[in-house]
Structure 1
Amino acid sequence: MTSKLNIRLILLLASLTICFSCTEKKKALKTKEEMKVGSVYSMQPFSGNLPEVSPADKTRLQHTIQQFYDKIYVPNNFSGSFLVAKNGHIVFEKYRGMSNFENKDTITSETPLHIASLSKVLTATAVLLLVDSKKIDLDQKVNTILEGFPYEEITVRTLLNHRSGLRNYSYFTDKNNVWNKRDTLHNSDLIPFIIKNNIELEFKPDSRFSYCNTNYSFLALIIEKITKMDYRTAMKKLIFEPLDMKNTFVFDLKKDGNTASQSYKGNKIKYPLNYLDDIYGDKNIFSTPRDLLKFDMATYNPAFLNKKLLKEVFKGYSYESRGTRNYGLGIRMFEWEDGKKMFYHNGWWHGSTSAYIKLKDEKATLICISNKYTRCTYRLKLLSSLFGNYPFELKGKDETLE
């Protein structure tokens, strides 16, 4: 009798455990509609179950990457963060140097560093979420969204793929007779400034590619206009919070100028902040490799953007001249004749440099962020050959990566 009672108790506990775990799983796997912020889709964490890297492969990768790191980064007195992952599982990471050399604050896995133009990947994602939510269209003219925008033919798409023809704000505001550098320039100043000073386009929209920070400064304004939130809050609500990116934020010059990690020249002399340091969208996101890995994996979630839109993101738009480099919607790429592609984005602002590599076919993620100027950050691409058939050699210096 006692034995039967024990069996019944065991079966009851087992069924309760199964029901509880199913309930928890249902809670974790929210629908796309449930993940909305207002009427806009937010990002969702990756919920798949990708295989772990085998112990043998992990040992092989760690050994090679350590040798690479010791050869390239250590001799350059690298100060920053470095991470390599496969299937979302970290196989190698290193943190060295200081976020503030004056205060001797060491860099750890939780230290946010300025990711410079890598911010464009995140800004583009927020805009694409608006498109996916049917709040705007890719080919919608910007002047139908931003009041007073003076260029008739520029669309959301041509801002995203750098084919708008806009001039770089850092070049048309750098003369004292047009902008007092004692005054901080803000995104909201750009349209009035352009109109007042009659800033013309560099070329006809969608006629060629020209990488330009102004494109993403306007995309940040579009995010604000459509979400009715400031850019900092919108990025937090649409991307950072849903993905549990706890160590990621958009820099605020007044609030964070003295407390955020600092930026240094190669000789450890600190870069002073200037009148351009409060413009956002093109730069000014601070993050960590672990947080960016969460972001990267979330882009593999089946609920991330509709399939048609996703194809638009990862295709090249600029073929006016022959070459392997191209640009999609917020992402750089190499395109080789055999059809192989590699997606990436680099960044550079003051002494901060960054590199993000997304190997879609192999689901490998490579991230490097430095707060002390060095070009070795960009040599991260060499490690792609460890994961797939990419034409980069680990031996010697490949000048095409600089």
Structure 2
Amino acid sequence: MNYKLLLFLILFSHFSCKQEVVTPIKERVEDIKKSISLPKFITLDENYKKKKRKEIDKFYTDKINLDDFSGSFLVAKNGQILLEKYSGYSNYNKKERLTSSTPIHLASISKVMTGTLILRLIDKKKIALETSLQTFFPEFPYSKVTIQTLLTHRSGLPNYLYFTDNDTIWDKSKILTNKDILRLISSNKVELDFIPNSKFSYNNTNYALLALVIEKVTQLPFPKAMKKLLFDPLDMKSTFVFEIEKQKDTVSKNYKSTWEEIPFNFQDGVYGDKNIYSTARDLLKLDLATYSDEFLSKKIKEKAYKGYSYEKKGVNNYGLGIRLREWDDGTIMFYHNGWWHGNKTSYVTLKKDTVALIALSNKYTSKVYQIKRLSSLFGNYPFTIEDEE
């Protein structure tokens, strides 16, 4: 056989194989990053808005804006902001005021955003709820850990926040990454806490691994994937994934209740479970998008907005990237809280009432969790705005 012809065929075959790998990866990104049209709602009556604004403002004054509150507060119905307030400092020492465009560390509300992009990838048939993590990472030792068990906190994996705090497992002088977590689990240095899908256990490891899945599927670093496929299409201009080596000196600070700054630590290099910075207004944009069947299909929303853990009786449950409370009369509240360093955050979305309640703080306070009580102004929720829990 002609050796020049043979060499040509080998090179052509190699080039063709490379094209078959690269082109689908590009399509994976391009076909889901286009801008999303947010749904339109009925314009609220001016008298209604005035009445609600007065009630909400009193609640904010009496229950949230206490003890030198530093953070963001926003309440909206039908996409229309009824009240928003901004107070405190993004940098206390420099007296830099916190404003509507100041991104605050969302803590575990970050899971809502990570979960949302996973749902979008499922909608586009890039992955499935039943897909095993071993599909992406063959070295991962547990075949029954799936996308769904990660999303619902039913994987049985141990929490990296705890096992990496053990000096025999991790050197805390080094910044921990998502890939380090995968490597530690795959090396059998840590074992499952329970059989996958046998019960619920809230766990940051789940969403740190989901971030790696997003990177694998999109062939983009997690910060870039989130920006291109979620933040940019929704015009969330003040939202980003924190990268510690690049941004530790420029982001809003974390404070104790006494304004003592809380420094970053070795676990601040992990994202997906936390480490997304955003604003109340950008969170509202994400909330509004969830009402669009163009953004998330009806089919995936039916799966996302329901509970998966009923081993124990109670109103608390977890869907696909969102917490929920289910009462006997059929009333459901969807929400997610967060707590990381001095940041405490709360996001409540009342789907049947098209209401978003958002409170974010970069200075330690549990007052933000009280925002759920405003639900009683919009529907039949078992809370009051007068009484403390």
TM-score under structure 1 length normalisation: 0.88
Instruction: Confirm or deny: 8 A CA contact 2:74 2:359 kept in the other structure.
Output: yes
Deviation at 1:190, TM superposition (A): 1.3
Q: Which amino acid aligns with 1:291?
A: D
From 232, 241, 251, the equivalent of 1:250 is 241
Q: Which amino acid aligns with 1:339?
A: G
Instruction: Confirm or deny: 8 A CA contact 1:161 1:330 kept in the other structure.
Output: yes
Structure 2 matches for 1:63-82, cutoff 5 A? Answer: 63-82=54-73
The answer to whether structure 1 residue 173 and structure 2 residue 159 are counterparts is no
Match of 1:303 in 2: 294
Match of 2:7 in 1: none
Q: Which amino acid aligns with 1:289?
A: A
Q: Give SS of 1:159's match.
A: helix
Listed one character per residue, the Cα deviations across residues 369-397 of structure 1 (whole Å, up to 9, x for unaligned) are: 00000000100000001111111011110
Match of 2:231 in 1: 240
Deviation at 1:331, TM superposition (A): 0.3
Match of 2:122 in 1: 131
Equivalent-residue separation in structure 1 for 2:60 and 2:289 (angstroms)? 27
Q: Which amino acid aligns with 2:55?
A: T
Match of 1:395 in 2: 386
The answer to whether structure 1 residue 270 and structure 2 residue 261 are counterparts is yes
From 347, 353, 359, the equivalent of 1:368 is 359
Deviation at 1:49, TM superposition (A): 2.6
From 357, 371, 376, the equivalent of 2:348 is 357
Q: Which amino acid aligns with 1:60?
A: K
Instruction: Confirm or deny: 8 A CA contact 1:109 1:290 kept in the other structure.
Output: yes
1:72 to 1:149, Cα distance in 2 relative to 1, 3 A: same
Equivalent-residue separation in structure 1 for 2:251 and 2:185 (angstroms)? 31
After TM superposition, what 4+ stretches of structure 1 lie above 4 angstroms from structure 2? none
Equivalent-residue separation in structure 2 for 1:269 and 1:102 (angstroms)? 10
Q: Which amino acid aligns with 1:357?
A: V
Q: Give SS of 2:347's match.
A: strand
Q: Which amino acid aligns with 1:50?
A: F
Structure 2 unmatched runs, 5+: 1-26
C-alpha root-mean-square deviation of aligned residues, in Å? 1.3
The answer to whether structure 1 residue 86 and structure 2 residue 77 are counterparts is yes
Q: Which amino acid aligns with 2:321?
A: G
Q: Give SS of 1:372's match.
A: coil
Number of residue-to-residue matches in the alignment:
363
The answer to whether structure 1 residue 330 and structure 2 residue 321 are counterparts is yes
Deviation at 1:341, TM superposition (A): 0.5
Q: Give SS of 1:318's match.
A: coil
Q: Give SS of 1:167's match.
A: coil
Structure 2 matches for 1:154-169, cutoff 5 A? Answer: 154-169=145-160
Structure 1 unmatched runs, 5+: 1-35
Match of 2:198 in 1: 207
1:348 to 1:52, Cα distance in 2 relative to 1, 3 A: same
Percent identity over the alignment is: 50
The answer to whether structure 1 residue 186 and structure 2 residue 186 are counterparts is no
Instruction: Confirm or deny: 8 A CA contact 1:115 1:285 kept in the other structure.
Output: yes
Structure 2 matches for 1:271-290, cutoff 5 A? Answer: 271-290=262-281
Q: Give SS of 1:38's match.
A: helix
Q: Give SS of 1:229's match.
A: coil
TM-score under structure 2 length normalisation: 0.91
Deviation at 1:75, TM superposition (A): 2.3
Listed one character per residue, the Cα deviations across residues 192-246 of structure 1 (whole Å, up to 9, x for unaligned) are: 2223353110000000000000000000000000000000000001110011111
Instruction: Confirm or deny: 8 A CA contact 2:262 2:341 kept in the other structure.
Output: yes
Instruction: Confirm or deny: 8 A CA contact 2:39 2:288 kept in the other structure.
Output: no
Deviation at 1:50, TM superposition (A): 1.1
Q: Which amino acid aligns with 2:343?
A: S
1:329 to 1:135, Cα distance in 2 relative to 1, 3 A: same
Match of 2:217 in 1: 226
